[in-house]
């Protein structure tokens, strides 16, 4: 009961800060801009995917803006998956997979004192004092293999600590067919652990899928998309690490 009460208090505080445009951190700023983008782009019947659903903060927004849509969530950490399943099913189809380029099994690094930093690979943990890492085994699957081609997907949020490129590779058919708006993380300190950097995800989303890439604020202000050079600069400096891919 106390844990549930604390969660509700934190949720209300987060929502209040976002509503008041008080950006106490860069992540809170990204949360605010993400919500604004969703509000501007989603319709009541838009179909959405949350990859790395964690505690369900983005799912709450998805259900607010698209209450009549078909929605999907992926979260491989067992206790977070169980909580999502209990709190959001059947409104959201919740899967315990770590999305990847192919179906199988994989080790997965759970950062017990900072679960948002968990992922298939260990990453840079400079922001965490003494990270407690527990290795577990999870099932991997692909977007194409899980969602299929019979559902039109309008929006995807993906934040899986460096594994974004490989997860999106596993949804190539669906992405080409639907060209959804994608909010994704891409930054130094995580993606290189998967053998990727800005080259791969930029070329994939722009050349193969046919989307354009923006910073969150540039997308909202309807500014020009990012060139590969500018995207690379953000990746290297870390000045921006959340982006939008859109038609």
Residue appearing with tokens 């019947």: 45
Task: Give the mean model confidence (pLDDT) for residues 84-112.
Answer: 96
The pLDDT assigned to 24 comes to 45
Q: Is the pLDDT at 67 greater than 60, yes or no?
A: yes
| Residue 168 binned pLDDT confidence (cut-offs 50, 70, 90) | very high
The pLDDT assigned to 190 comes to 81
The pLDDT assigned to 74 comes to 98
Q: 189: domain CATH number?
A: 3.40.50
Residue 167 lies in a domain: yes
Question: Of 58, 54, 51, 29, whose CA–CA distance to 240 is shortest?
Answer: 29
Structure tokens belonging to residue 20: 């008041």
Q: Is the pLDDT at 105 greater than 60, yes or no?
A: yes
The pLDDT assigned to 8 comes to 55
* Cis check: omega of the bond before 90, within 30 degrees of 0: yes
Residue 112 lies in a domain: no
* pLDDT tens-digit series, residues 38-50: 999 999 999 999 9
Domain count, the chain: 1
Residue 239 lies in a domain: yes
Q: Which residue has the higher pLDDT, 245 or 197?
A: 245
Residue 182 lies in a domain: yes
Confirm if 102 and 74 have CB atoms less than 8 A apart.
no
Q: Is the pTM of this model over 0.75?
A: yes
Confirm if 142 and 103 have CB atoms less than 8 A apart.
yes
Contacts for 47 with CB less than 8 Å, ≥ 6 apart: 66, 69, 70, 71, 151, 152, 153, 154, 155
Residue 109 lies in a domain: no
Residue 140 lies in a domain: no
Q: How far is CA 212 from the centre of its chain?
A: 17
Residue appearing with tokens 């993400």: 34
Residue 43 lies in a domain: yes
Q: Is the pLDDT at 13 greater than 70, yes or no?
A: no
**Which domain range does residue 45 map to?**
12-73+85-94+149-246
Mean pLDDT (the chain) is: 90
* pLDDT tens-digit series, residues 146-165: 997 889 999 999 999 999 99
Residue 130 lies in a domain: no
The pLDDT assigned to 150 comes to 87
């Amino acid at each position: 009961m106390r844990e549930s009460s604390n969660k509700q208090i934190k949720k209300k505080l987060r929502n209040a800060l976002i509503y008041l445009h008080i950006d106490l951190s860069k992540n809170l700023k990204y949360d605010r801009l993400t919500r604004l983008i969703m509000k501007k782009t989603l319709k009541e019947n838009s179909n959405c995917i949350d990859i790395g659903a964690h505690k369900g903060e983005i799912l709450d927004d998805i259900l607010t803006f698209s209450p009549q849509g078909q929605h999907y969530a992926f979260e491989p950490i067992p206790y977070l998956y169980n909580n999502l399943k209990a709190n959001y099913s059947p409104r959201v189809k919740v899967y315990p997979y770590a999305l990847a380029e192919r179906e199988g099994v994989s080790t997965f690094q759970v950062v017990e004192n900072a679960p948002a930093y968990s992922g298939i690979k260990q990453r840079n943990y400079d922001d965490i004092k003494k990270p407690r890492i527990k290795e577990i085994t999870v099932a991997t699957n692909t977007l194409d293999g899980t969602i299929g081609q019979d559902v039109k997907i309008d929006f995807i949020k993906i934040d899986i600590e460096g594994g974004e490129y490989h997860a999106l590779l596993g949804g190539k058919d669906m992405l080409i067919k639907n060209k959804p708006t994608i909010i994704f993380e891409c930054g130094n300190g995580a993606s290189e652990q998967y053998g990727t950097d800005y080259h791969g995800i930029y070329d994939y989303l722009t050349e193969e899928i046919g989307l354009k890439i923006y910073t969150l604020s540039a997308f909202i202000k309807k500014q020009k998309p990012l060139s590969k050079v500018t995207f690379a600069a953000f990746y290297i400096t870390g000045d921006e690490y959340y982006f939008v891919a859109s038609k």
